[in-house]
């Protein structure tokens, strides 16, 4: 998982490192697939404009020129039961699907570092968005990604913490609360406004 803004440098350089690390994982480890996920050095997220560019370019390159399989990890800044978290997951799912990624692995909300801050609703968004993206032309995809990222990128420093799993799910039935269902439906409507058709 290369770090954008670290030793690798900017978008283009980090993309080269990303492709190289994917190939290296196959050669050095005899891996059957590589789990990727460029991370922004400042925000600790895979869902920034820069990291989405890197992930998309790297995956498209690997898909075009090799038979290697890649996956991508999802680290939204925001926590569960927030619109921002679902939109961050959606942006990455659009990117991954359109660039040919075979495995979508996520979603680890709240940057994947806080206990009890991951639920199935984020993964549901990832999956539904992937299905909605499949078959879209690249110009439409780019417009959708721009719309989604523009809606949340000003909030990285103050991303909503969201709720713990046990506060936005019924733990006995493992189902989301009515509140989270409403948040999810609101995010989905926003994505439709941004150009996705579910």
Residue 155 DSSP class: G
Q: Kindly state the average pLDDT of the residues 154-170.
A: 97
**pLDDT value for 64:** 94
Q: Which residue has the higher pLDDT, 120 or 37?
A: 120
What confidence tens digit (pLDDT) does each residue in 129-140 have? Answer: 999 999 999 999
Query: Residue 105: beta bridge partners?
Result: 73
Handedness of CA 25, 134, 131, 110 (dihedral sign): positive
Residue 16 has pLDDT above 90, yes or no: yes
**pLDDT value for 106:** 81
Q: What is the largest CA-CA distance in the chain?
A: 48
**pLDDT value for 37:** 87
Q: Kindly state the average pLDDT of the residues 17-24.
A: 93
Average pLDDT across the chain, whole number: 95
Residue 193 has pLDDT above 90, yes or no: yes
Residue 143 has pLDDT above 90, yes or no: yes
pTM attached to this predicted model: 0.95
What confidence tens digit (pLDDT) does each residue in 39-86 have? Answer: 999 999 999 999 999 999 999 999 999 999 999 999 999 999 999 999
Q: Give 114's contacts (C-beta < 8 A, 6+ positions apart).
A: 79
Report whether 160 contacts 82 (CB < 8 A).
yes
Q: Give 129's contacts (C-beta < 8 A, 6+ positions apart).
A: 89, 90, 93, 94, 97, 191, 196
**pLDDT value for 77:** 97
């Amino acid at each position: 998982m290369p770090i954008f803004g670290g030793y690798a440098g900017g978008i283009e350089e980090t993309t080269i490192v990303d492709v190289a690390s994917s190939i290296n994982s196959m050669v050095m480890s005899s891996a059957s697939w590589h789990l990727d996920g460029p991370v922004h050095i400042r925000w600790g997220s895979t869902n920034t404009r820069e990291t989405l560019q890197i992930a998309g370019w790297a995956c498209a390159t690997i898909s075009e020129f090799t038979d290697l399989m890649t996956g991508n990890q999802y680290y939204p800044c925001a926590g569960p039961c927030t619109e921002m978290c679902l939109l961050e997951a959606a942006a990455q799912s659009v990117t991954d699907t359109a660039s040919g990624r075979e495995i979508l692995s996520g979603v680890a909300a709240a940057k994947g570092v806080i206990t009890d801050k991951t639920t199935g609703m984020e993964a549901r968004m990832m999956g539904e968005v992937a299905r909605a993206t499949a078959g879209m032309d690249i110009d439409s995809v780019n417009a959708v990604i721009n719309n989604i990222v523009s809606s949340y990128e000003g909030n990285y420093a103050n991303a909503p913490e969201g709720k713990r799993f046990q506060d936005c799910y019924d733990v006995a039935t493992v189902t989301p609360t009515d509140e989270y269902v409403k948040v999810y439906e609101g995010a989905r409507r926003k994505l439709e406004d941004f150009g996705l058709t579910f």
